[in-house]
Amino acid sequence: MDKIIAAQSTAAGKGGIGIIRMTGKGCLDIAAKIFTSGGLKDVIKAKPNVMYFGRIDAGAAKDKGYLVYFKEPHSFTGEDTVEFHCHGGQAVLNAVLDGLFGLGAQPAERGEFTRRAFLNGKLALSDAEGVIDMINADSTAALKAAYRMMSGGLSKEIYSMQESLLKLIASYEAALDYPDEIGTETVAHTAALKKLADRAAALIAASNKSATVKRGVNVVLIGKPNTGKSSLLNGFVKKDRAIVTDIPGTTRDTLEESFEYDGVRLNVVDTAGIREKETAGIIELKGIERSIDAAKGADIVLYVIDSPLYAEDKDACLPYGAYAEKSGEKAIAVFNKSDIKDVLTQCRGRIKKEFGGTAAFSVSAKTGDGIDKLLGYIAGLFKGGNVSDAEIMTNQRHVAALRGAYDGILSAVSADGIGAECILVDLRNAWTKLGEITGQTATEDILDKIFSEFCLGK
């Protein structure tokens, strides 16, 4: 009732634009944290029913788009509502949603927007007839189903984490309620809590990867002008979609192409080549800016390098690491035009020196040589190999709950020198969050644990 909820309101998949809707008191405060606009200095003072153009910066994704604020009661739900009109790529929309969840919004239950609209008198009875059925079909049933759908290993892991947490809570509680009996035993559980936090963090990391797989891996082509990025994109999808010329700087805007390779969806974004500002025109500069943004939000950045130029030792690559962290996992060096020169064999020593542990591939956009090897490598990173299927949480609500639990545990760990009664505020929150996944949250459970673990009472 009180919480802020958010969901994508346009159909999933690729469209011209995509709309994300967030409703609930205070949603504008959240919006203000990810939206900046030249025309609107102070986002929380946005006028209702006005479209503002600006930048949406949700950490993992950046986009330009519009914000519209609807003031209660003049909105669909009857509560304060904010809409983001973004570009239609699902990757962007997912990232924006993730950003909103990270800031305190909650994934909307099915039918929740409609339910709120009804409760706030915005819908007639006849409109809301279907709402009960909708809710019935969802909520706990869906929760349970989602829990059941988790792999055995994963549900066991969550359950075991909840058990460990419950044990810790019980021992803290027992010491508080029975000081005569356990008051003297020191309660030092920080190590156990840290371990628990690590377990949660590992699950979250894995699920982030899995979310990546679900929405598609965002691959961004980046490089100096005329290194053949657009040709590569064409080579990837085997059709002439991007405009290819040999005039440096032809691509002025980013282009996205989505396709499946070896069971993994890849959203490949071609960007404008990046070169010194002095030589670039205004339109091109805009394009370059977008290229940089795209790279920052990418899962994989392909540094495309002109092989013949590289062999001649000319200024062939972008300052490495300037546009994406230099982590080996995220960056891949792609030496294009291998039909002219295969530097990977010829300049092995130099590449090793300059690119360190980064994966490097030799390809030819023109002949198609090496492309399968490159795509296979990328797909391999996101299936099997790095992420174990058994430990992936796919349900968005589960991930949000787990993240909440993780925050609670971390907060308890950092509560140095503070009493158990305070630590318990965080731990109980964490436990309730895990309970949202497993369906166990009653105080009775804590009491049961206390009395089964400790011999207490007069």
**Interacting residues with another protein (CB under 8 A):** 1-3, 115, 118-119, 125, 128, 131-133, 135-136, 138-141, 173, 176-181, 183, 417-422, 425, 428, 442-444, 446-447, 450-451, 455-458
Q: Cβ distance 13 to 90 under 8 Å?
A: yes
Query: In whole angstroms, how close is the CB of 434 to another protein at the nearest point?
Result: 16
Cα 83 from chain centroid? 19
Cα separation, 331 vs 319, whole angstroms: 13
Distance CA 211, CA 335 (A): 30
**Token pair of 323 as six digits:** 């546009």
Whether omega before 179 lies within 30 degrees of 0, making that bond cis, reads: no
Positive or negative, the CA dihedral 323, 325, 328, 330 is negative
Pairing of strands 106-107, 17-23: unpaired
Task: Dump strand ranges (E) for 319-404.
Answer: 331-336, 359-362
Shorter beta-carbon distance to another protein: residue 139 or 208: 139
State in angstroms the smallest separation of the CB of 119 from another protein: 5
Q: Hey, which residues does 3 pair with through a beta bridge? A: none
Residue with tokens 């009875």: 125
In this structure, are residues 396 and 388 in contact, taking their beta carbons and an 8 Å threshold? no
Pick between residue 192 and residue 420 the one whose CB is nearest to another protein: 420
- Judged by CB, which is closer to another protein: 88, or 104? 104
Residue with smaller CB distance to another protein, 138 or 354 = 138
**3-class DSSP state for residue 91?**
helix
State in angstroms the smallest separation of the CB of 329 from another protein. 37
* β-strands 359-362, 331-336 pairing: parallel
Contacts of 172 (CB under 8 A, 6+ apart): 187, 189, 420, 423, 424, 427
CB 243 within 8 A of CB 284: no
Tokens of 391: 């430990």
64: closest CA among 27, 102, 37? 37
H/E run at residue 218: strand 217-223
Question: Helix-strand-coil percent breakdown of the chain, rounded to 5?
Answer: 50, 15, 35
Neighbours of 183 (CB within 10 A): 11
- Least distance CB 316 / another protein (angstroms): 53
Nearer to another protein, 151 or 411 (CB): 411
Q: Which is nearer to another protein, 48 or 130 (CB)?
A: 130
Report, in Å, the least distance between residue 188 CB and another protein.
15
In the complex, the smallest distance separating the C-beta of residue 411 from another protein, rounded to whole angstroms, is 9
Task: Compare residues 247 and 455 and give the one whose CB is closer to another protein.
Answer: 455
Residue type for position 317: C
Min dist CB 79 to another protein, Å, is: 13
Q: Provide, rounded to whole angstroms, the least separation between the CB of residue 365 and another protein.
A: 54
Least separation, in Å, of the C-beta of 421 and another protein? 5
Give me the least distance between CB of 164 and another protein, in Å please: 18
End-to-end distance of the chain based on CA atoms, in angstroms?
Answer: 43
Question: Residue 293 or residue 426: which is nearer to another protein going by CB?
Answer: 426
Nearer to another protein, 139 or 250 (CB): 139
By beta-carbon proximity to another protein, the closer residue of 173 and 293 is 173
